[in-house]
Amino acid sequence: MSLIQTGSEAGVLLRERYGASGVHLPLRVDAAGVVPLLLAHRSVRVFDPAPVPDEVVDTLISAAQSASTSSNLQSWSVVVVREGNRRNAVATLAGDQQFIREAPLFLVFVADWARGVAIARRHGEAAEGIDFLDSTLVATIDAAIAAQNAVVAAEALGYGAVFVGAVRNHPEELSATLGLPDAAFPVVGVAIGSPSAADRSQVKPRLPQSVVRHDERYRAADDDDIEGYDRTLRAFNESQGRAGGWLESVVSRVRSRTALHGRERLRTALEERGLPSF
């Protein structure tokens, strides 16, 4: 493995990902090109309508199933949505976002204890263990890790993707649309397709490592680092035709339940779906 050079392709990606703060990070590039692929991640929301071939979908699911899973319980599932009317229904429930309608492939990753409950019942056993918060977290984390693997695989194959947390806006209705059984809950969606020629998305800058990295013990972030990042992201947003910076988006998200778009009642929804999460 070799160190990333400032003028190299990966060095350019570091600058795009971190701004000036990332130029001198001593990262190493692997021969397989996985690190540059990860650094190059961007959220694509404008897709070519060409369908994603079956063998690609099979590949993405295989990559998802290769993700780590707690105790090999594999407490997740994925619903592959390609049919236009169903994709439209999912889009309406998931923030009414047009790119979901236009993406040729939409994957809904599901925290799934229904399979475990069925197995326990076939063996004459109770399923009390799924009622607790840790079980909900286990299945949710499993689903999220699987989804990330699918996205990395999609990008490795030249496709674009974007995560969609809005599948949790109306979980009961979405569960009915997808035919989810009790003890199964939609965690995150992923829209996937070939990026359209009209797509202008770029690598979005992230916080400097000095903010998110804590060696040995957690410490408060430096205000100058956060404000510097806010300026960097504000400039990036302007280049993408959007307004605002990072600080106001954080404040907007945390100051009121209205920013949750219905997800403030998630615990109630989980209970109704058979995952009380005590």
What is the tens place of the pLDDT at every residue in 216-249?
999 999 999 999 999 999 999 999 999 999 999 9
Contact (Cβ atoms closer than 8 angstroms) between residue 194 and residue 158: yes
Give tens-digit pLDDT for 42-101.
999 999 999 999 999 999 999 999 999 999 999 999 999 999 999 999 999 999 999 999
Full-model pTM: 0.94
Domains (ranges, CATH) in the chain?
Answer: 2-40+203-239 (no CATH), 54-199 (3.40.109.10)
Nearest to 263 by CA among 176, 186, 191, 182: 186
Closest of 86, 88, 108 to residue 100, by C-alpha = 88
Helices (H), 28-123: 34-39, 54-65, 84-93, 98-102, 114-122
pLDDT value at position 83?
97
- Residue range 173-214, pLDDT digits in tens: 999 999 999 999 999 999 999 999 999 999 999 999 999 999
Question: Measured between alpha carbons, how far is 62 from 67 in angstroms, rounded to an integer?
Answer: 9
What digits encode the pLDDT tens for the residues 242-268?
A: 999 999 999 999 999 999 999 999 999
Q: How far apart are CA 106 and CA 4, in angstroms?
A: 35
β-sheet bridge partners, residue 47: 195
Q: Sorting pLDDT into bands at 50, 70 and 90, what band is 4?
A: low
- State residue 5's pLDDT score: 57
